[in-house]
Amino acid sequence: MAMYNDTVMDHFMNPHNVGEIENADGVGTYGSPVCGDMMKITIKVEDNVITDAKFKTFGCGSAIASSSMATDMLIGKTVEEALALTNKDVLDKLGGLPGPKIHCSVLSEQAIKAAIYDYAQKNGLEYEELKDFDPNAEEDPHDHDDHGEDEE
Ligand code: FES
């Protein structure tokens, strides 16, 4: 019945980077059509480096742990490195989430992309990785290959 490892529990109980940056350089929100939960990420960018990142998550514990870890991973990265960050990277760093909760980590990846998209729009920048990014697109609930049904 052990669902969550210690790293996940720690980030859930003591999340890092909670809140909202004032006068943020980029603001991104993403809502999951799977569960209706939402995440907002704000970033500060100086000389193409993300110097600060904060999140607010209106969602479950896995989403909170994912966004805590994701914002930790974001700080200090160049914009290009941040764009390369996937939910799989966040999952690996967390030591994994139970199958039915994998989609929660997708929120952080998409909210990060949305925040960088906003930053790029405000500064007239273009990034190859964002060419097909639609900030209003919804995650396809069927687009997951991991539907572990062994826990309920
Ligand atoms: S159940 Fe909605 S983000 Fe986890």
DSSP secondary structure, 110-127, as one string: HHHHHHHHHHHHHHT---
Domain boundaries, the chain: 6-125
**pLDDT tens digits for range 65-81:** 999 999 999 999 999 99
- Please check the confidence at residue 151 and state whether its pLDDT lies above 80: no
What's the rounded Cα separation, in Å, for the pair 91 and 98? Answer: 10
Q: What percent of the chain has pLDDT over 70?
A: 89
The pLDDT of residue 68 is 97
**pLDDT tens digits for range 1-42:** 458 999 999 999 999 999 999 999 999 999 988 899 999 999
Instruction: Name the closest-CA residue to atom 3, ligand 1.
Output: 104
pTM to 2 decimals? 0.87
Q: Domain 6-125: which CATH class?
A: alpha beta
Among 35, 49, 60, 125, the active-site one is 35
Ligand 1 centroid to Cα of residue 55, in Å, is 15
